[in-house]
Copies of this chain bind each other. A is one copy, B any other.
Amino acid sequence: MKKNQISGVSLGTASSHTRYGDRDDVLVISLEAGSNVSCKFTSNTFKAAPVKQAIKNLETKTKGEKYLLVNAGNANAGNGKKGEQDVTNYCSHFSKTSSCDFNNILPFSTGVIGENLDVEAHKKAFDKALKNNKATNWNKASKAILTTDTKPKLLKRTIKSGSKEINLIGFAKGSGMIGPDFATLLSFVFTDAEISQSLLDKIHSESLKDSFDAITIDGDTSPNDSSCLVATGGSGVKIKKSSQLEITIKKEIKALFKELAKLLVVDAEGATKFISVNVQNAKNENQAKEVAFTVALSPLVKTAMFGNDANWGRILAAVGRCKSIDDISKTSIRINNLPMVNKGSKSKSHSEKSASKAVKKKNIKIDIDLGLGKKTHQVNTSDFSEDYVLINSEYRS
């Protein structure tokens, strides 16, 4: 098989000539018959029309050829019945153009909430994208789905299995409205391994845990979040349950998801730093999670990091306001391995000079040892800059 390809997958992009001028902003992904598709959607009760349609179609999809239709710039969320009719309209149209079962067409949208979609323009664009379909269009695909992202996020991995190869390719978008359960994002990951639907769903859930569910930019979640994991079987390598190969591919898929999630945080709106918050020795998992997310979301911690200020006081204050915390006398905090807080108060070895130096780096690791138990949790986030405010106060204008 050629490089940069997943046997069974082809991709085409086109422009709807709507929000982004002539930039390609729609993507059609064709999946050969026999491919298994695992989809996970936003936990937000407010779900966009395409998400609702995709969930419905997944219940009755058949074994035949499948298409993923993606558009960027318009979320088609909050548009009521009209929004739902619009999705049915362009999916029905595409069903005829492609001679594909309606239930095998899965729509995805990302962009501004509450504006009606220009359906005719998108029908044309999806048709054109179908014509442009190629097995090698991964770069174009990863660019067509972007909104406020500054860079495409595209990753590849190869696994050797005897004389055969298993390929993994994934791309994602998302840089704001990123909260757990999970981030505002569209993510599409493909492998040419043959994986049963149930095993694929299991690997997908496990992969989300340490990736998109463990990052946060602003805590806001969107009505459009969707993650797809597709296995085409095109490599001829079958993954059997509980085999060594299952362990290997799971590890590789997890790593690819984690890396994609990291790329989202690095490209977060206005971000100048990548911040990893590691909570150790919590009483239980919920406490570890609460502390990690509270610190990762604290506007005061995030602005301090932006300002190269090793303000451990704000970190300790964020820990202290967690509902599950009733004792900070055992809490120790390190920033980039430098001790800041030792058992609830300023570390004796703390020096403002070395702290300032440590926090000037682009990658910040905040270790919080609660000393209350054995559980850990890690969350990755970005800092809070003036540009975050600028980007989000001008997004629609």
A79 pairs with B345, CB closer than 8 A: yes
**A327's closest neighbor in chain B, by CB?**
B45
A317 pairs with B80, CB closer than 8 A: no
B303 pairs with A389, CB closer than 8 A: yes
Q: Which chain A residues numbered 311 to 337 have a C-beta less than 8 Å away from chain B?
A: 311-314, 316-322, 325-328
A317-B393 contact given A45-B328, A299-B299, CB 8 Å threshold: no
A298 pairs with B219, CB closer than 8 A: yes
Q: Quick check: which of A96-104, A195-203, A220-228 contacts chain B, the rest being far away?
A: A220-228
Asked whether A94 is an interface residue with its Cβ less than 8 Å from the other chain, the reply is no
A396-B113 contact given A46-B316, A79-B345, CB 8 Å threshold: no
Asked whether A388 is an interface residue with its Cβ less than 8 Å from the other chain, the reply is yes
Q: Interface residues of A, CB < 8 Å — how many?
A: 64
State in angstroms the CA–CA spacing of A307 and B397 once bound together: 9
A307-B223 contact given A313-B112, A319-B46, CB 8 Å threshold: no
Q: Which residues of B contact A345 (CB under 8 A)?
A: 78-81, 83
Most chain B CB atoms below 10 A, which of A297, A306, A346, A384? A346
Asked whether A85 is an interface residue with its Cβ less than 8 Å from the other chain, the reply is no
State in angstroms the CA–CA spacing of A381 and B337 once bound together: 36
**A343's closest neighbor in chain B, by CB?**
B80
Asked whether A300 is an interface residue with its Cβ less than 8 Å from the other chain, the reply is yes
Q: Which residues of B contact A176 (CB under 8 A)?
A: 300
The prevalent SS among residues of A at the interface is loop
Asked whether A351 is an interface residue with its Cβ less than 8 Å from the other chain, the reply is no
Q: Which residues of B contact A304 (CB under 8 A)?
A: 392-393, 395-396
Asked whether A77 is an interface residue with its Cβ less than 8 Å from the other chain, the reply is yes
Q: Which chain A residues numbered 343 to 397 have a C-beta less than 8 Å away from chain B?
A: 344-346, 384-386, 388-390, 392-397
Q: Which chain A residues numbered 246 to 273 have a C-beta less than 8 Å away from chain B?
A: none
**A309's closest neighbor in chain B, by CB?**
B396
Least Cβ–Cβ distance between A272 and chain B, in angstroms? 10
A312-B45 contact given A317-B221, A389-B385, CB 8 Å threshold: no
Q: Which residues of B contact A389 (CB under 8 A)?
A: 303, 306, 384-386, 388-389
Least Cβ–Cβ distance between A268 and chain B, in angstroms? 12
B397 pairs with A309, CB closer than 8 A: yes
State in angstroms the CA–CA spacing of A344 and B77 once bound together: 10
**A43's closest neighbor in chain B, by CB?**
B321
Asked whether A179 is an interface residue with its Cβ less than 8 Å from the other chain, the reply is yes
A220 pairs with B298, CB closer than 8 A: yes
B318 pairs with A393, CB closer than 8 A: no
Q: Which residues of B contact A385 (CB under 8 A)?
A: 389, 393
Q: Which residues of B contact A346 (CB under 8 A)?
A: 78-80, 114
Q: Which residues of B contact A384 (CB under 8 A)?
A: 299, 389
Q: List 13 A-B contacts (CB under 8 A).
A: A44-B320, A45-B321, A47-B320, A78-B312, A79-B345, A79-B346, A114-B311, A176-B300, A220-B321, A299-B384, A300-B392, A311-B396, A388-B389
Given contacts A113-B311, A179-B321, A307-B392, 7 further A-B contacts (CB under 8 A): A45-B321, A114-B313, A218-B299, A303-B388, A386-B390, A388-B389, A389-B389
Instruction: Spell out A's residues near B (CB within 8 Å).
Output: 43-47, 75, 77-81, 83, 112-114, 176-177, 179, 218-223, 297-300, 303-304, 306-307, 309, 311-314, 316-322, 325-328, 341, 344-346, 384-386, 388-390, 392-397
